[in-house]
């Protein structure tokens, strides 16, 4: 025998459950365009049946008691999320790399037959050929001195620009570290809130979305790995370099002078000795651009400058100027930053040696030898100076192209991952509309059930009482 009003209760539970389902649908619809929002789903379950043997023994079996909302969960794919975190780190670094290479290319302005950096080199050699034709002509001597100073100035300028770019990258590091500290602090605080919610057996859906957002932001600044715990909290670590967030504890980073290049900044954990290596993200990108991309370019440029100086000086110092002077170097300095026209030559152009022998004003054979450095490699150098320069530019192009290709590929991968994530997590208005219709109909039906029961019971009371 069942209680008279139990059917009303069952219908009421139906009303309440459908009401919650419609509310969740409303929440989803309202957040249809909220970034990082994961749609929520109601998990409907039947309530416990009446299981008292005394009550049930006489009946046909266990009687159902209605429906309840067991939980509200979010649609989320944590495997894709892990990949997004990794790809974010790669992507920011690739972007910095690609931008840096494009900026370096602009310094040299190649290919350009009239205004490229390479014309400084070819103009220099052309001037020597002119001097070979007229070894005692003061105007030709002046042209050689000027072109030499131009070449040295061009190398100084290029070196300066590269160093400036290094400094700009270096200056960004402090800002990135502050950003990382803010984000890890927020993640740790959020971990605490999430742990509190899960401890009482509830789903911290919106907090988890916020957590994902923060970890995503962090992964764009620096390459990280995230490990999700059963209680919903996340532990975040730098790939191979230590833990940033462990439960409710965050470890702050700080900047220290670099051990190898003290003029630059390195990253370290606060209160711990020694700098750490950082990869990925804007921070990893800035450090890679500073040390490898720009640093490597500077090394190549310095080698070129040193080779120019030694190739020209080795010949120049053996020759004789139109004033009879000998043993004078053309360039001073051995790096791109320090290369300069020898002040002795700048002060008196007749010191420029064009002749292989003294007192032979018509002898321009030494100037010819120097101009021939265009065609023949200098002693001890595998290729000509111009081939060295060309190889440097070609390599720059290859690197730039590769960086662009990697960036394009990375963008596609990220696009694909986002697509997968949105396929699972984002709101579909069609789906919500369809759900709403379902919930509405079920709600309507439940009210009908209730009204029929009301009618039945009141009939019974009135007729038996009448």
Partner 1 sequence: MRISDQQVADLRNYEVNNAYDQLIQAQNTLSSGRQINAPSDNPAGTGTALSLQDELAQNTAFTATANDSQSWMQTTTNALNGVNDTLLSIRTLGVQGANGTLTADERTALANQVGQLIQQGVQAANATYNGQYVLSGQKTLTIPFTTTTSGGLTSVAYQGDSAPITRELSPGLVSQIGIPGSNALPAVFSAMSQLQSDLLGGDSAMISGDLATIDKAQGGLLLAQTSAGAITNRVTAVQGSLQNQNTTLTAQWSGIVDANFAQASVTFNERLSTYQASLTAAGKVVQSSLMDFLK
Residue (182 or 368) nearer to partner 1, CB: 368
414 binds partner 1 (CB under 8 A): no
Q: Is 66 left (phi over 0), alpha (psi -120 to 50) or beta?
A: left
Q: Which residue number, 97 or 179, has a Cβ lying nearer to partner 1?
A: 97
Grouping H, G, I as helix, E, B as strand and the rest as coil, residue 367 is: helix
Under the binding rule (CB under 8 A), the answer on residue 132 touching partner 1 is yes
Give whole-number Cα distances, 129 to 114, 241, 272, 317, 349, in Å.
Answer: 19, 58, 62, 18, 16
Binding of residue 73 to partner 1 (CB under 8 A): no
Q: Give the separation between CA 250 and CA 123, rounded to whole angstroms.
A: 59
- Please give the size of the binding site for partner 1, defined by CB under 8 A: 74
- In a 3-state reduction of DSSP, which class is residue 321? strand
Contact yes or no for 14/446 (Cβ under 8 A):
yes
Could you say whether residue 389 binds partner 1 (CB under 8 A)?
yes
CB nearer to partner 1: pick between 64 and 362: 362
Q: Which of 173, 190, 427, 442 binds partner 1 (CB under 8 A)?
A: 427
Element (H, E) at 110: none
CB of 240 to partner 1, least distance (A): 31
Q: Is 226 in the site for partner 1 (CB under 8 A)?
A: no
* Contact status: 452 vs partner 1 (CB under 8 A): no
Which residue in the set 437, 452, 460, 461 belongs to the binding site for partner 1 (CB under 8 A)? 437
Query: What is the closest distance, in whole angstroms, from the C-beta atom of residue 408 to partner 1 in the complex?
Result: 10
CB of 35 to partner 1, least distance (A): 9
Distance CA 349, CA 130 (A): 15
Cα separation, 143 vs 140, whole angstroms: 5
Q: Does 404 bind partner 1 (CB under 8 A)?
A: yes
Q: Which of 102, 259, 452, 460 is in the footprint of partner 1 by CB under 8 A?
A: 102
What span, in angstroms and rounded, lies between the C-alpha atoms of 209 and 196?
A: 16
User: If binding is defined by CB under 8 A, does position 344 make contact with partner 1?
Assistant: no
Helix (H, G, I), strand (E, B) or coil at 181: helix
Contact pattern for partner 1 over residues 21 through 40, marking x by CB under 8 A: -----------xx-----x-
Q: Decide: is 136 part of the binding site for partner 1 (CB under 8 A).
A: yes
Residue with tokens 């500290």: 181
Q: Establish if 110 lies at the interface with partner 1 (CB under 8 A).
A: yes
Binder of partner 1 out of 99, 137, 150, 348 (CB under 8 A): 137
Strands of 3-89 (E only): list them: 40-46, 67-74
Beta strands in 200-247 (DSSP E): 224-228, 234-238, 242-246
| Cross-strand bridge partners of residue 187 | none
Pick the stretch among 17-25, 127-135, 177-185, 235-243 that binds partner 1 (CB under 8 A): 127-135
Q: Which residues pair with 225 in a beta bridge?
A: 237
Q: Which among 133-141, 204-212, 272-280, 285-293 is the span making contact with partner 1, rule CB under 8 A?
A: 133-141
Residue 352 touching partner 1 (CB under 8 A) = no
Q: Does 123 bind partner 1 (CB under 8 A)?
A: yes
Q: Are 365 and 132 in contact (CB under 8 A)?
A: yes
Alpha-carbon Rg for the chain, nearest whole angstrom, is: 38
Asked if 300 is part of the footprint of partner 1 (rule: CB under 8 A), the reply reads no
Q: Which residues pair with 320 in a beta bridge?
A: 326, 355
Residues 158-177 that bind partner 1 (CB under 8 A): none
> 362 is written with which tokens?
């018509």
Question: Counting contacts by CB under 8 A, is residue 92 touching partner 1?
Answer: no
What's the distance, Cα to Cα, between the start and end of the chain in Å?
24
Taking the complex as a whole, how short is the minimal distance between the CB of residue 401 and partner 1, in angstroms?
4
How far is residue 242's CA from residue 272's CA, in Å, rounded to a whole number?
11
Using CB under 8 A, pick the residue from 219, 275, 388, 426 that binds partner 1: 426
Position among 26, 59, 64, 111 found at the interface with partner 1 (CB under 8 A): 111
How far is residue 368 CA from its own chain's centroid? 51
The binder of partner 1 chosen from 40, 90, 119, 184 (CB under 8 A): 119
């Amino acid at each position: 025998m069942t209680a008279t009003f139990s059917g009303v209760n069952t219908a009421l539970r139906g009303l309440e459950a459908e009401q919650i389902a419609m509310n969740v649908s409303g929440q989803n619809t309202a957040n249809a365009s909220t970034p990082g929002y994961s749609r929520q789903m109601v998990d409907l379950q039947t309530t416990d049946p009446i299981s008292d043997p005394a009550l049930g023994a006489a009946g046909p079996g266990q009687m159902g008691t209605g429906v309840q909302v067991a939980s509200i969960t979010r649609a989320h794919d944590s495997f894709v999320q892990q990949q997004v975190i990794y790809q974010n780190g790669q992507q920011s670094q690739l972007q910095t790399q690609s931008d840096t290479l494009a900026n370096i290319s602009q310094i040299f302005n190649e290919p350009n037959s009239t205004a490229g950096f390479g014309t400084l080199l070819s103009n220099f050699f052309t001037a020597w050929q002119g001097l070979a034709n007229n070894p005692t002509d003061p105007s030709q001597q002046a042209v050689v001195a000027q072109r030499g100073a131009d070449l040295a100035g061009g190398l100084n300028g290029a070196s300066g620009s590269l160093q400036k770019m290094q400094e700009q990258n270096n200056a960004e590091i402090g800002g990135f570290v502050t950003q990382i500290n803010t984000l890890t602090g927020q993640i740790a605080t959020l971990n605490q809130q999430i742990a509190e919610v899960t401890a009482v057996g509830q789903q911290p859906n919106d907090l988890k979305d916020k957590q994902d957002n923060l970890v995503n932001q962090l992964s764009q600044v620096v390459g990280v790995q995230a490990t999700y715990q059963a209680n919903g909290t996340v532990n975040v670590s730098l790939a191979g370099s230590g833990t940033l967030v462990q439960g409710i504890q965050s470890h702050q980073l700080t900047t220290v002078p670099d051990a190898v290049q003290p003029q630059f900044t390195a990253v370290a954990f606060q209160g711990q000795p020694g700098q750490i290596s950082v990869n990925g993200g804007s921070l990893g990108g800035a450090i890679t651009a500073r040390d490898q991309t720009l640093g490597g370019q500077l090394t190549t440029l310095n080698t070129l400058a040193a080779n120019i100086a030694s190739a020209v000086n080795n010949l120049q110092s053996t020759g004789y100027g139109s004033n009879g002077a000998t043993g004078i170097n053309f360039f001073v300095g051995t790096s791109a930053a320090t290369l300069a026209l020898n002040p002795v030559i700048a002060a008196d152009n007749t010191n420029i040696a064009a002749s292989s022998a003294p007192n032979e004003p018509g002898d321009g054979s030494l100037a010819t030898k120097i101009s021939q450095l265009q065609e023949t490699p200098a002693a001890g150098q595998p290729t000509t100076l111009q081939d060295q320069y060309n190889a440097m530019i070609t390599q720059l192009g290859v690197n730039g192209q590769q960086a662009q290709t990697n960036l394009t590929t990375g963008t596609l991968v990220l696009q694909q991952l986002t697509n997968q994530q949105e396929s699972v997590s984002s709101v579909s208005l069609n789906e919500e509309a369809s759900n709403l219709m379902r919930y509405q109909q079920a709600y309507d039906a439940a009210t009908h059930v209730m009204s029929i029961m009301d009618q039945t019971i009141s009939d019974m009371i009135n007729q038996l009482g009448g």
